[in-house]
Amino acid sequence: MQVQSMTSIERRAGISLAVLYSLRMLGLFMILPVFALYAQDLVGQTPFLIGLAIGIYGLTQAIFQIPFGLLSDRIGRKPVIIMGMVIFAFGSILAALSDNIYTMITGRALQGSGAIAAALMALAADLTREEQRMKVMAMIGMSIGFAFAIAMVLGSILEQWISVAGIFWLIALLALTGIAIIIFWVPNAVKQKLHRDTETVPQQLSSVLKNIELLRLNLGVFTLHFVLTATFLVIPVLLQEQAHYALSQHWQIYLPVMIIAMLFTIPFIIVAEKKRQIKQIYIAAISLLVLIQMGLYFNHYSVMAIFTGLLFFFLAFNTLEALLPSLVAKISPAQTKGTAMGVYSSSQFLGAFAGGSIGGYVSGVWGYVAVFIVTGSVLAIWFLVAANMQEPQYLSSYLVDIGQIGEQDIKNISERLSKIKGVYDVVVIPEAQEAYLKVDLKSLDKDALTTLSS
């Protein structure tokens, strides 16, 4: 079988959307390592309100993500993305101008309200063929990981040059740059349609929310981002007040932590996927996070202790951040993958909101280090839930274009697809002219699949 390569339009779509997504992630995460200290000078601040300001974007992001995706089905992807970036820019400007905590909270809420993730993924699907879509999604996924790592370091460096207010102004500029990218660089889709592998289908929400294994993963990503947000309410303060390490030097910790953690994460992900050891590594990474939170509770007085804790924290965090969406794709039925990923993404943002607000409340009532007790306890609950998860089948979602068929042909097409080596589940959607499969890529007879769909 001749392996098809990406077209110039698909490459352009992948690169431009990855850059656009990266700008969005930079805008959201550059303030994470510096905000807790900056916000202490805002009028009316309390630890709870600081935490709420950090996490509130997650609540509005979760609320508007699916509706914005559905709106993009009606009025087009690009108009919704541009509208979202405009809202994000206005929120960033309001945050930059804030001198009190309430205006800051409003600005951060507006930032989250520009929820474009679902529309971006739908546009990526519109611009790619089924056999190339995974490559484009992988490009976007990798860009998110790199953007997060860069944001953690860049935020600490930029704070000493332009202040946190300046960072918010820069974030607004990045949003405007994103609008230019979507208008002038991202290709226009020839045809727009519903993609069940990337978009949320409201009629499927009930079945997805009843799936116990998917609920375990939703709890997992909720907990992971709860812990991330709550931890960075505390870490910058402890570095400055307990370890006596100036904010202007914090990047010297984050830079090596991010580089080393990313490099050492890759072998764990390869072993998990290639050696089919996902559950074992998944459980081990959760266990490591529990130990790290307890370790930071008892030893947070030196730069070395915090550096070591952050290094292992991000080793575990990066591993779980990669494995969780992979597990969602493996566990969800092929035709509900898009809906499952939509619920998963909303759970992630709700976790950030809960981590900020609850972490802020706990630090205000019982002190900063008490946050580690809360995060460690939440992680322990996740560990108990995850320990009972089923061993995942190492199956991938696969989309086949079947063309226009009648109702009488559905059974015939389903049977023929089911007989192909490596195909384990088939759902034919005639109105979409597509068949959604669960396949074992190692044993899949792609020649037979190509012959049938051509």
Give the residues across from 427 on adjacent strands.
436
Confidence of residue 5 (pLDDT cuts 50, 70, 90): confident
What pLDDT, in 10s, does the model give residues 17-69? 999 999 988 888 999 999 999 999 999 999 999 999 999 999 999 999 999 99
C-alpha torsion 313→314→315→319, nearest 10: 110
Q: Note the pLDDT of residue 340.
A: 92
* Averaged pLDDT, 306-322: 96
Distances in whole angstroms, Cα of residue 80 to Cα of each of 20, 28, 156, 218, 442: 14, 19, 32, 26, 38
Q: What token pair was written down for 127?
A: 């611009």
Ranking 107-116, 196-205, 344-353, 380-389 by mean pLDDT, the lowest is 196-205
Ranking 93-97, 246-250, 391-395 by mean pLDDT, the lowest is 391-395
Residue partners of 190: CB distance under 8 A and separation at least 6: none
Residue partners of 282: CB distance under 8 A and separation at least 6: 272, 320, 323, 327, 386
Confidence of residue 1 (pLDDT cuts 50, 70, 90): very low
Residue 5, classed as helix, strand or coil, is coil
Ranking 165-174, 199-208, 312-321 by mean pLDDT, the lowest is 199-208
The residue that leads in pLDDT, 337 or 59, is: 59
CA–CA separation, 282 and 271 (whole Å): 11
Confidence of residue 453 (pLDDT cuts 50, 70, 90): low
Q: Note the pLDDT of residue 6.
A: 83
Confidence of residue 96 (pLDDT cuts 50, 70, 90): very high
Q: Note the pLDDT of residue 397.
A: 75
- In contact, 96 and 169? CB cutoff 8 Å: yes
Per DSSP, the residues of 136-155 read HHHHHHHHHHHHHHHHHHHH
The residue that leads in pLDDT, 449 or 272, is: 272
Alpha helix (H) residue ranges in 367-399: 370-387
CA–CA separation, 187 and 13 (whole Å): 6
CA–CA separation, 163 and 324 (whole Å): 35
CA–CA separation, 186 and 77 (whole Å): 11
Q: Is residue 112 predicted with pLDDT exceeding 90?
A: yes
On average, the pLDDT of the chain sits at 90
The domains located in the chain, with CATH, are 8-199 (1.20.1250.20), 207-393 (1.20.1250.20), 396-453 (3.30.70.100)
* Averaged pLDDT, 127-151: 85
Residue 300, classed as helix, strand or coil, is coil
CA–CA separation, 327 and 381 (whole Å): 19
Confidence of residue 399 (pLDDT cuts 50, 70, 90): confident
Taking alpha carbons only, the member of 100, 129, 85 closest to residue 38 is 100
Q: Note the pLDDT of residue 205.
A: 92
Give the residues across from 426 on adjacent strands.
437
Q: Is residue 164 predicted with pLDDT exceeding 60?
A: yes
Q: Note the pLDDT of residue 222.
A: 98
Distances in whole angstroms, Cα of residue 107 to Cα of each of 26, 158, 196, 356: 16, 20, 33, 15
For strands 434-439 and 396-401, give the pairing.
antiparallel
Q: Is residue 424 predicted with pLDDT exceeding 50?
A: yes
* Averaged pLDDT, 182-192: 90
Confidence of residue 3 (pLDDT cuts 50, 70, 90): very low
Q: Is residue 313 predicted with pLDDT exceeding 60?
A: yes
* Averaged pLDDT, 237-241: 94
Confidence of residue 84 (pLDDT cuts 50, 70, 90): very high
Q: Is 118 exposed, middle or buried (0-12, 13-18, 19+ CB in 10 A)?
A: buried
